[in-house]
Structure 1
């Protein structure tokens, strides 16, 4: 079966060659191809922009992560040292039967245990946000 016969049966064309202008067909083909190439370039540009945004965002996340990890390391190191010193005070107070010093040291240990370094991290995040905001007004 020829193309002419398929066109006749499917679309009801009597003469396929008379209803299609080859020049117009070729111009539409070129026009569609050029539109395709434009869209391809636009999408490539969008992908490059997304990649650049991704790299920037990942770098920011990694920087913030490093900052948080360093803060937590130092904070927990400081807390551990404070606990060690307070337990040394407790040991000395028990050795000397100094109940007042023992009570104060145990209260300090309890207060230190109640506090969380994560609360301070939230405060640091709000300070960072204020530093990043050019319209933030500082009052001293």
Structure 2
């Protein structure tokens, strides 16, 4: 058995007095708001594209500088390792011979190499930055 249908009782409201001018004004506001949104979106998209391009450029520059710096350190520390190996071999030989003058000279060389940093020989970091910024700079090792 089904339940009896309910009847809704109420009052039907007459249409409000909205003129065609009010409707057109509302439509104009919507169109203006959408146009503003489109303009803002275009401007912000352009800004994002510029930032993405800037980011890509800077990341590429950082990676290029990293590559150069890695090569510099590899070469510099290879030279230092080679120098230390040679100096310690000479120190051992001088000690074996009992040559105090040679021992003193070799120890002075070891201390001098140990005292200097590979970066100290690079000079002013501002000049390095300028060289990194210069696409025509030739790096010599």
Please report the TM-score for the alignment, with normalisation by the length of structure 1: 0.76
Distance in 2 (CA, whole Å) between partners of 1:85 and 1:103 is 15
CA RMSD of aligned residues (A): 2.1
Greater Rg over alpha carbons, structure: 2
CA distances 1:96-137 after superposition (whole Å, capped 9, x unpaired): 11110011101110111111112123x16333345558xxxx
Query: 3-state SS of the aligned residue for 1:17?
Result: coil
Which residue of the partner structure matches residue 85 of structure 1? 86
Q: Which runs of 5+ in 2 are unaligned?
A: 1-12, 135-141
Q: Which has the higher helix share?
A: 1
Aligned partner of 2:107 in structure 1 is 106
Aligned to 1:50: 51
Q: 1:116 to 1:25 in 2, by over 3 A?
A: same
Summarize the Cα distance change of 1:125–1:67 in structure 2 as closer, same or farther, 3 Å threshold. Answer: farther
1:35 lines up with 2:39 in the alignment: no
After TM superposition, the score normalised by the length of structure 2 is 0.75
Assess, with a 3 A threshold, how the Cα gap between structure 1 residues 72 and 27 changes in structure 2: closer, same or farther: same
* Superposed displacement of residue 95, structure 1: 1.4
Cα distance in structure 1, aligned partners of 2:124 and 2:75: 14
**CA-to-aligned-CA distance 1:53-108 (integer Å, 9 cap, x gap):** 00000000001111111101110000000001101110111111111001110111
User: Which structure is richer in relative contact order (CA contacts within 8 A, separation 6 or more)?
Assistant: 2
Q: Take 1:118 and 1:98, find their aligned partners in 2: how far apart are those partners?
A: 34
Long gaps (5+) in structure 1: 5-14, 134-140
